[in-house]
Each structure stands twice: as structure tokens, then as C-alpha cells.
């Protein structure tokens, strides 16, 4: 909003310069974006009288003027203005004057052989008009010569361009800014309050059918109006605020809008042709020709002002052309209303029509000030247009809200870091227009109508006190020294997982979290990017296989890669995320081994990669045959279990899927539940064990066992029976074929025993025999050694 410095001083007393006031407002939350100091536009320009005006001897369009500026010496000025003549009073810029609008400094010059000692100025050269046909001629019959022209032309003022936040609708008015300045400077506030005249109802009627959208609507009929140019002072103030003058009636409504922030609208009463003004929503397809000459097609979301049933204005945005006030208007209906902000915002956006009225209604107009604004408008219409109010009708559904907010001085001190005296707190709030009632522990603060939209809680009042007393008053308080940074446990383990995967020869990849709908319980998207990516992924394996296929087509083999990411699963309780570690292994890990001693990469090699990743945490994983995943080979897939809970899956790609994807059959994948793994590591921290100084004792054990019993089951039983002396057990050999009973296989294990002393043969034999007996009893193995 453009705020006139001189106009503001009529409402509040202060001794600041424009720059100082701008600093105060900015620090209080009202940023002053620019200061237009008009006092500099005509600095040095004075009133002069043209005594003689003769044609230039060398140029037909130039005149040579003898000008008196009261110094006792006449100036010789060459002028090209067609309206220059003897006897007029005009603004004169002597030699040495700087005109900032034209970036021109006057110097003595010779124009076509005639000396010139200054310039007779037009309003264009003084910044008051975009273009001028000639010099400015003062209308007064006599003026003191040498007088500064600034006050005569309104150039003794400064304009502050003030930006306000969306929650401060009251700041879009001179009264609102004056309240703020009074609170910031301690100046005396003088509001332009007028006692509204008592007007009879007469034949005028107002009816609201949408009280939520329009809580109050007042219409006042005025007669004997003489529509014409507005007074100079009124036109000057509107021009400084960035508005153009229309006529005295419209200018008064705009003036009150700037002064009180209350939009008003004037209708030509004879063109309304109806005694009842109404407020309703439009019917779809209704038409309204607005003041800008645009015929607008309305929708049911647009609020209208109607005369009878005929639309005459787009409520809160713009009036209709059919009822516009013009030079022939003698009877006026003046509208003053409060409209619902979202309703007005919707209409303004639909038609891309932002007006001064809609800008204020969108933020919220102070309903408690409507009568003050209306009374002020009636007074000005009487003074400027001779209009007399003869009838008034109103329909009022306003809720008289009396909001009381408690403020604890102790809490204010805690928030701001410094205790402020109770008396100062109360005075600041009173200066802002709040009614403060002190109590033993807290203030009861009554919120005025112009602040109802943004003051709701105690913290809002604390902010008001802080910004008025100044944030620079509160010393900085630094937080206590922070401890050294650290990673959360989950992030730390995730980094370890990545490092271990890279150490095992895997390359990290990142795949899309969007996937085609392939799962039995897909997590479908309501707005998919495409039909191919219409769901959230439920596993990492699909994305890794697609990445493998692409890299194989590019010749990037062998391909051993992993991904750490989340999958999205559906349960009875809804959709949840789960962290996963997935990997794909394809191709020999060693390339170009001239000795040809690298064993073929098979299921056991893939298992070894996974074991290497889990080894640092000493997690004992049980492998169980698994056929549930149709993508994996039914005889070469195992589910991974720890303490009876599923950790993940390891398997070879199913031949059919490998053929369809054009991948080698010797492609292996695994996917483990990363969240479960992190919980395991948290619950079972790795313990450091030093090397034993005592020698180990190794024993081998061979037996025939029925097929179908996993090696892990044998290992688990051996560990149970061999404790506490058993240090490790590993499978040495597996054989099936000649010499082995049908349906069986030959297994050989090596067991290492160790203790905190040198073991005797008797101790080892006792434990070893217990292991043998347990295997024979539980699994009916045929012991060979």
C-alpha cells in the first residue's frame, strides 16, 4: 500500500523522518519496499512571473522570456512551450537546479545565439504527469515570487510503499497504518471518526439470502448529488495512493476505502429501478456487464448484488456498467457491506479480476468499523457533492464476537528471554487498540475488531509485544554446546551393510520404487505416472532383474549388484514400508583366470556371498527348502530363518523366467528383511573374544543320512550336543552315488573343540560320543566313523 507521509501525520503525531519511520515499520513486520521522496523532485524550483515573452530571433517555435523570481535580477530563459506568455506565474528552475525525474542539471546555455539562464517547468518535468503539452501555469492571480513550488504542487510529501502480510488486513488502510505508527512511536492517535446521521428507512429495502457469505449489507439513498470533478485535495491524495480520479462520488468511495479499508460502491439509483437490493449467489449462465466493459458469464460460486432479481454488481469485486454513476446522476445508492473472504477470492480468481476492493475483502474487512466508514463517506459526499441522505436499509447477521485472550507476563518472559514490566506490556497492547484488564497472574486482553482475524492465542499477543518493543531489545541466547554428532543406530548398521556388500564384490544400484501391477496384493497408485508404473514395488528382486537384463544387453558382465531400499506391503492394518537388502549375482566373479581354477558360480557360491555379508554379526541362519516364490527354482531356493523368524530368501532364477528374460539359468538372487536384521544386531551385540592360548582338538564325523534332512539341522544338533566345548563345525564333504545306500547321501563334518585349558582325550571323547549318539537317535544316521 502507498502511504502518504503528510496524510499519515493527520492521524498520528510523530517526529520521525520518512527514512526513520520506514525503518520502524520494517522492524515491526511491515516492510517498506520503497520510499518515493517527492520533496526532491522540485528542490530548488521556485515561483516565477513571466514579464516579457518575445519570439526567438533565430527559431519560429522558441520564445525568449524575461522572468522575475524575486531575486532583484531578471532571468533570460529560452522556452519552447506553446502556452508561454507574459503575465503568468510558472515554476522556474534556475541554473544549478537538479531535476531527478529527468536526470537533468540546469546550466547556463546559449540556444540559437540567445543566452538561457534556467527553465520554465512543465508537470512532466516535475514528475506529476507522464506527458505535458506545455509549462505549468499556476491558476492563482498572484503568488510570492521565489516561493518554493513544492507545497503548491503537493511535492512536499513522501510516499512509503508498505507491504503487509496476509494476516494483517487492517494494514491496507491509513487508519490501520496510523494505529501501528502510534504504537511504535508513542504518538497520539486521531482517528477520523464521524457520527453517522440518523437516516429513515423510507422506501429502500435490503435483503440477504446468503448470510454466511454476506453477514451485513447496508444501502443508503442520497439525493441532490452534483456529480463532477473531485476537489483538488481529494484528487491529489488518490493520485499519491496510485488511483486515478473518476468523479467526486466515486473518488469519495475510494478515499474511504484507503482511509478505513472498507470498500464502498455507489449505484445510480434511477438505473437500479428497484426498491430492494439483494445479495445472493448467481444462477449458472447469468450474465453481467461489469464496469471494465466485459460481459461475464457467471457460475453458482459467484456472489451477486441484485436489484429485484437483476444482477447489478459482482459482490466485493466490481460493479456493473448498467448502474454506473455518471455526470447525469442525481440520486445515489451507497453500498456498505461485509463479505466472506473465500467467496470473494473465488470470484476474483475465476475472472482474473483483482481490484482494490477484492484485495481487501480477500483478507477480511473489519466488520466493527463499517458504521465509521459509512458515516465518513456520507459526510464527504455531502461536502464534495452536496448529496443528502434520505433513506437507509440494512440487513445484519453479524455475530458480535468478544474474544478474550489470557496473557501471562511470566510466559512472555520465558518466550522472549527477558522480563518486560507489566505496565509496559499493558501500554503496548493498549496502544495497539487492545483492551487490557490486569489480574494477579495474567492479563485478560480483549481483542479489537480489526485484529480478530489474526489474534487467537497467547503466543499471538507475545509476538505483538515483541515486535513493538523491538526484537533488538532481547539479547541473543545461544543454546548449550552440542555433543558430537552421531548416526542413529539404524543408519549406522545400514552403512555397514553397504560396506560389507561392496567388500563382497557387489556394486550398489538404485531401481525405481514404482513397478507394474504383478503382485497378488498390489499397492496401486491412484494417479500413476503410466500404465507400466502403476503400483509401488513389493520386492527388490524384480527391479534388480530388470537392471541385470539391461546391463547384460549392454555387455556389462559379470553383474553382481545389490540394493538397499524400501518396499511397500499391504496388511490387514493397512499399507506399510519395510526396509530390504536385495542382490542379484550372475556370471563368474573372476574373469580371465588363466589357471582355470575358479569353481563355477553356483548356489553354494551365492550362499557364501550372503554368509560373508552376515558373518561380522555372528548370526546363525537356518536354511529351509522353499517353493513359494514362482520366480525361483523350486529345488534351489531356501528361506532364511533366525530364531524361528523369517529373515529372507536365497535362490536361483527359475529356468522359465530366465528364458523369458533372456538371462542365464545360473542367476542367483537374495532378499532379506533389513529391519529385522537391524533388530537382530541391536538385540545381539557382537562380543569380542580373544584368541585362546590353548590348542584346539579336531574330530571328523562321517555318516549316511536320508535325503530331505538339511545340513543345517545336523549342524544345529551338533552345536547343541557339543556345547560348551565345541568351537566350530563345518561340512567337509557330500557324496551321492556308488557305495551310498539308495535315498541317502554321505556327509562328513569337521568339529573343533577348545576350552580354557588343554583338553584331555577323555573330555573330547565324552562330548564327541554324545554328538554321535544324538545324531543316531534323532535322525537315524548310519555312522561311518
* Residue numbering of the annotated binding site: 454, 460, 463-464
Q: How far apart are CA 314 and CA 49, in angstroms?
A: 52
Nine-digit cell string for 463: 509476538
Nearest alpha carbon to residue 46 among 68, 73, 69: 69
Nine-digit cell string for 251: 473518488
Kindly write down the DSSP assignment for every residue of 374-405, as one continuous string: HHHHHHHHHHHH--EEEEEEEEE-------EE
Helix (H) or strand (E) holding 586: strand 574-586
Q: How far apart are CA 241 and CA 262, in angstroms?
A: 15
Angle subtended at Cα 334 by Cα 289 and Cα 217, rounded to the nearest 5 degrees = 90
- What is the chain's percent helix, strand, coil content, to nearest 5? 30, 30, 40
Angle subtended at Cα 535 by Cα 498 and Cα 550, rounded to the nearest 5 degrees = 55
Q: How far apart are CA 435 and CA 447, in angstroms?
A: 7
Report the relative pairing of strands 535-536 and 523-524 from DSSP bridges.
Answer: antiparallel
Residues contributing to the annotated binding site for Mg(2+): 454, 460, 463-464
Angle of helix 248-260 relative to helix 174-185, nearest 10 degrees, comes to 30
Q: Considering only CA atoms, give the Rg of the chain.
A: 45
Q: Is 531 exposed, middle or buried (0-12, 13-18, 19+ CB in 10 A)?
A: exposed
Q: Is 55 exposed, middle or buried (0-12, 13-18, 19+ CB in 10 A)?
A: exposed
Q: How far apart are CA 253 and CA 378, in angstroms?
A: 10
- Within 10 angstroms of residue 630's Cβ, the number of other Cβ atoms is 9
Q: How far apart are CA 706 and CA 309, in angstroms?
A: 96
Amino acid at each position: 500500500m502507498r502511504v502518504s507521509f503528510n496524510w499519515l501525520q493527520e492521524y498520528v503525531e510523530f517526529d520521525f523522518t520518512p527514512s526513520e519511520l520506514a525503518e520502524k515499520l520494517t522492524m515491526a513486520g511491515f516492510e517498506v519496499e520503497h520510499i518515493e521522496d517527492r520533496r526532491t523532485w522540485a528542490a530548488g524550483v521556485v515561483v516565477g512571473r513571466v514579464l516579457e515573452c518575445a519570439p526567438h530571433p533565430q527559431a519560429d517555435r522558441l520564445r525568449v522570456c524575461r522572468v522575475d523570481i524575486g531575486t532583484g535580477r531578471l532571468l533570460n530563459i529560452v522556452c519552447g512551450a506553446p502556452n508561454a506568455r507574459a503575465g503568468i506565474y510558472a515554476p522556474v528552475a534556475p541554473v544549478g537546479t537538479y531535476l531527478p525525474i529527468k536526470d537533468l542539471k540546469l546550466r547556463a546555455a546559449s540556444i540559437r545565439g540567445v543566452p538561457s539562464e534556467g527553465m520554465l517547468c512543465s508537470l512532466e518535468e516535475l514528475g506529476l504527469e507522464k506527458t505535458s503539452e506545455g509549462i505549468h501555469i499556476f491558476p492563482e492571480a498572484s503568488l510570492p515570487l521565489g516561493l518554493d513550488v513544492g507545497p503548491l504542487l503537493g511535492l512536499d510529501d513522501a510516499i512509503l510503499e508498505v507491504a503487509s502480510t496476509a494476516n494483517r488486513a487492517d494494514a491496507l488502510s491509513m487508519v490501520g497504518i496510523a494505529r501501528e505508527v502510534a504504537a511504535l512511536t508513542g504518538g497520539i492517535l486521531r482517528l477520523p471518526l464521524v457520527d453517522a446521521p440518523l437516516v429513515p428507512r423510507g422506501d429502500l429495502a435490503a435483503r440477504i439470502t446468503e448470510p454466511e457469505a454476506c453477514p451485513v449489507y447496508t444501502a443508503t439513498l442520497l439525493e441532490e448529488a452534483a456529480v463532477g470533478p473531485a476537489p483538488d485535495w481529494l484528487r491529489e491524495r488518490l493520485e499519491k495512493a496510485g488511483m486515478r480520479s473518476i468523479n467526486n462520488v466515486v473518488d469519495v468511495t475510494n478515499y474511504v476505502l484507503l482511509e478505513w479499508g472498507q470498500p464502498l460502491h455507489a449505484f445510480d439509483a434511477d438505473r437500479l429501478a428497484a426498491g430492494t437490493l439483494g445479495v445472493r449467489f448467481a444462477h449458472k449462465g447469468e450474465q453481467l456487464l461489469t464496469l471494465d466493459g466485459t460481459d461475464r458469464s457467471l457460475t453458482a460460486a459467484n456472489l451477486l448484488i441484485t436489484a429485484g432479481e437483476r444482477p447489478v454488481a459482482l459482490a466485493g469485486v466490481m460493479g456493473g456498467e448498467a448502474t454506473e454513476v455518471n455526470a447525469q446522476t442525481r440520486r445515489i445508492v451507497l453500498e456498505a457491506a461485509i463479505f466472506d473472504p473465500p467467496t470473494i477470492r473465488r470470484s476474483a480468481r475465476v475472472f482474473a479480476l483483482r481490484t482494490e476492493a477484492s484485495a481487501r475483502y480477500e483478507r477480511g474487512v473489519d466488520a466493527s468499523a463499517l458504521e465509521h466508514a459509512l458515516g465518513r463517506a456520507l459526510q464527504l459526499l455531502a461536502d464534495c457533492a452536496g448529496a443528502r441522505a434520505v433513506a437507509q436499509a440494512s440487513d445484519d447477521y453479524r455475530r458480535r464476537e468478544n474474544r478474550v485472550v489470557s496473557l501471562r507476563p511470566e510466559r512472555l518472559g520465558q518466550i522472549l528471554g527477558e522480563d518486560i514490566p507489566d505496565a509496559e506490556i499493558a501500554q503496548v497492547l493498549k496502544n495497539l487498540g487492545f483492551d487490557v484488564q490486569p489480574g494477579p497472574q495474567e492479563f485478560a486482553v480483549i481483542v479489537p475488531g480489526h485484529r480478530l482475524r489474526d489474534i487467537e492465542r497467547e503466543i499471538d499477543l507475545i509476538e505483538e509485544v515483541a515486535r513493538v518493543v523491538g526484537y533488538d531489545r532481547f539479547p541473543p541466547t545461544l543454546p548449550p554446546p552440542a555433543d558430537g554428532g552421531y548416526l542413529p543406530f539404524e543408519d549406522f548398521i545400514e552403512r555397514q551393510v553397504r560396506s560389507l556388500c561392496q567388500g563382497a564384490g557387489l556394486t550398489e544400484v538404485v531401481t525405481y520404487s514404482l513397478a507394474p501391477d504383478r503382485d497378488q496384493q498390489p499397492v496401486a497408485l491412484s494417479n500413476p505416472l503410466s500404465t507400466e508404473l502403476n503400483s509401488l514395488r513389493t520386492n527388490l528382486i524384480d527391479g534388480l532383474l530388470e537392471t541385470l537384463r539391461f546391463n547384460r544387453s549392454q555387455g556389462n558382465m559379470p553383474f553382481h549388484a545389490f540394493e538397499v531400499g524400501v518396499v511397500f506391503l499391504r496388511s490387514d492394518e493397512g499399507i506399510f514400508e519395510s526396509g530390504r537388502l536385495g542382490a542379484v549375482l550372475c556370471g563368474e566373479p573372476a574373469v580371465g583366470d588363466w589357471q582355470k581354477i575358479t569353481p563355477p558360480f553356483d548356489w553354494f557360491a551365492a550362499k557364501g556371498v550372503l554368509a560373508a555379508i552376515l558373518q561380522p554379526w555372528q548370526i546363525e541362519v537356518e536354511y529351509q527348502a522353499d517353493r513359494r516364490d514362482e520366480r525361483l527354482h523350486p529345488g534351489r531356493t531356501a528361506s532364511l530363518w533366525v530364531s524361528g523368524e523369517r529373515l529372507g530368501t536365497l535362490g536361483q532364477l527359475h529356468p522359465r523366467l530366465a528364458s523369458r528374460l533372456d538371462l542365464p539359468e545360473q542367476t542367483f538372487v537374495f532378499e532379506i528383511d533389513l529391519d529385522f536384521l537391524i533388530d537382530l544386531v541391536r538385540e545381539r551385540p557382537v562380543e569380542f573374544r580373544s584368541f585362546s592360548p590353548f590348542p584346539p582338538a579336531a574330530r571328523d564325523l562321517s555318516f549316511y543320512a536320508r535325503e530331505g534332512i538339511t545340513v543345517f539341522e545336523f549342524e544345529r544338533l551338533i552345536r547343541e550336543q557339543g556345547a560348551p566345548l565345541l568351537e566350530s563345525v563345518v561340512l567337509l564333504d557330500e557324496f551321492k552315488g556308488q557305495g551310498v545306500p539308495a535315498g541317502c547321501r554321505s556327509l562328513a563334518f569337521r568339529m573343533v573343540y577348545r576350552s580354557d585349558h588343554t583338553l584331555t582325550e577323555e573330555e573330547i571323547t565324552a562330548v564327541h560320543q554324545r554328538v554321535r549318539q544324538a545324531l543316531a537317535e534323532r535322525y537315524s544316521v548310519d555312522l561311518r566313523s
